[in-house]
Amino acid sequence: MSKLTDLNLAQARDGLVSKAFSAAELTQSHIERVEASDALNAYVLKTPEKAMDMAKASDEKISNGTAGPLEGLPIGVKDLFCTKGVRTTASSKILGEFIPPYESTVTQNLWNDGAVLLGKLNNDEFAMGSSNETSCFGPVNNPYQGANGENLVPGGSSGGSSAAVAARLGVAATATDTGGSIRQPAAFTGTVGLKPTYGRCSRWGVVAFASSLDQAGPITQTVRDAAIMLGSMASFDKRDSTSVERDVPNYEAALTGNIKGLRVGIPKEYRVDTMPAEIEALWQQGIDWLKDAGAEIVDVSLPHTKYALPAYYIIAPAEASSNLARYDGVRYGARQTGVDIDDMYSNTRAAGFGDEVKRRIMVGTYALSAGYYDAYYIKALQVRRLIAEDFDRAYEKCDVLLTPTTPSAAFAVGKQVEDPLEMYLNDVFTVTVNLAGLPGLSVPAGLDANGLPLGLQLIGKAFGEEELLRVGEVLETAAGFTTRPKQWWSA
């Protein structure tokens, strides 16, 4: 038998059900692999004892016939999800040693279904970044290295989650996506990333970045695994006022492999001048794969695409500046002293926030300030509606859209840190989806000339996750992506 850590989520689940191995054995092998992964810096907190306790409880449930859908499956959790009694930092110094007295709805759903917590995963500070380099715990290294052995970023903000899944440090991971933070890191690491429709997964207990854009979802090895994870993560939650009251379908059952007659839209505005030829070629390859599977290819137009990033970089910082006002050193986190309370606030925030977070708070407060509110914030919200209406019109002619996930493969650690704008351009193909509140799925589809993974993105209709996953699985099968990173980080 191959190593237990080689199994994907569905295989591990099936092995537990058939009693080929126990949850304790499965968890123990993942714990050992996580222990040997420090060179990746994917985990910011390991919880091996808790994991073994949960795994043993799972074994009892399996033996007495009360196992849940994820019973005994060890996963990593992005450090943006509050976990009761387990330190949660959003990878920011300002949260200090914050220990939540409550559990996020999404993680509670996972534990209710039997999943096992291996630990908390690194991310860009408050999920603000596209390379996992703004974390107070330092960058995560991509399990894939460059041609000369240089360390590459795993994408961001869910870089710990993508690196962990690519390196098999857990059968799956939770992540969040505000402008591309699930799909872009998935593309950079040869993994599957699913951002569900806004309102599908509860935001309760997830550290807020930009509340009208944030959405939780899974990073997994396969599309099937993403379907299984979403089935447990999704729920209606009355504690989140934007949670949508809607049944959670059986996503795995939607994977029929049949997409005959499905109309796949190709948005011409995504054909940007700076796109490398190999991404252009991969996109064409994806079109051909879906056509061969019986889909109909339709050209569509999303005319306001070029304004998505500028609108996002007003809306997201504006919401962030409001959300992050709570970090004032009064109720939790690392307080700095001051001569009076205003001085205490300023010192606490100066010491606790990193540079990118400070930049975004300042842009946000500027965009929301009295003289500029209409010119920036309201204008951006109007453009956001035009972007959402572009999708409505496109979906009159097609069922899903196919695009590249990112404009490049993973880049070297340190390469883009100096230029915030260049970093923002990573999200050019993903950010429109958040603005419109739609579901998006990144599927590993090929390699660039240096052997680095590239992803293709499918965009669905609101609450069209079943169709999205169905097409995703067809794309995955056609691409046959089986590459694994060389294990340079441990013996």
Partner 1 sequence: MLARIGLDEAEVPALAKELNTIIGFVEQLSEVDTEGVKPFTSPVENKMRWREDVVADGGYAEHVLANAPDKDDEYFAVPKVVE
Position 118 contacts partner 1 (CB under 8 A) = no
Position 358 contacts partner 1 (CB under 8 A) = yes
Report in angstroms how near the CB of residue 276 gets to partner 1 at its nearest.
22
Binding test (CB under 8 A) with partner 1, winner from 36, 212, 447, 450: 212
Position 335 contacts partner 1 (CB under 8 A) = yes
Binding test (CB under 8 A) with partner 1, winner from 36, 93, 111, 242: 242
Binding test (CB under 8 A) with partner 1, winner from 9, 192, 380, 452: 380
Position 106 contacts partner 1 (CB under 8 A) = no
Instruction: List all residues 6 or more positions away from 217 whose beta carbon is below 8 Å from its beta carbon.
Output: 174, 175, 176, 177, 182, 193, 194, 195, 196, 201, 226, 230, 233
Just list the catalytic residues.
78, 157, 181
Position 94 contacts partner 1 (CB under 8 A) = no
First to last CA, the chain: 20
20 closest CA partner among 29, 8, 12, 32: 12
Position 199 contacts partner 1 (CB under 8 A) = yes
Whichever of 113 and 177 has its CB closer to partner 1, that residue is 177
Binding test (CB under 8 A) with partner 1, winner from 331, 396, 482, 491: 331
Position 198 contacts partner 1 (CB under 8 A) = yes
Binding mask 278-317 for partner 1 (x = CB under 8 A): --------------------------x-xx-xxx-xx---
Position 362 contacts partner 1 (CB under 8 A) = yes
Question: What residues between 394 and 453 interact with partner 1 by CB under 8 A?
Answer: 420-421, 424, 436-437
Position 338 contacts partner 1 (CB under 8 A) = yes
Binding test (CB under 8 A) with partner 1, winner from 241, 250, 258, 487: 241
Report in angstroms how near the CB of residue 303 gets to partner 1 at its nearest.
10
Position 345 contacts partner 1 (CB under 8 A) = yes
Binding mask 448-477 for partner 1 (x = CB under 8 A): --------------x---------------
Position 182 contacts partner 1 (CB under 8 A) = no
Is the Cα torsion angle 196, 481, 120, 48 positive or negative in sign?
A: positive
Report in angstroms how near the CB of residue 381 gets to partner 1 at its nearest.
3
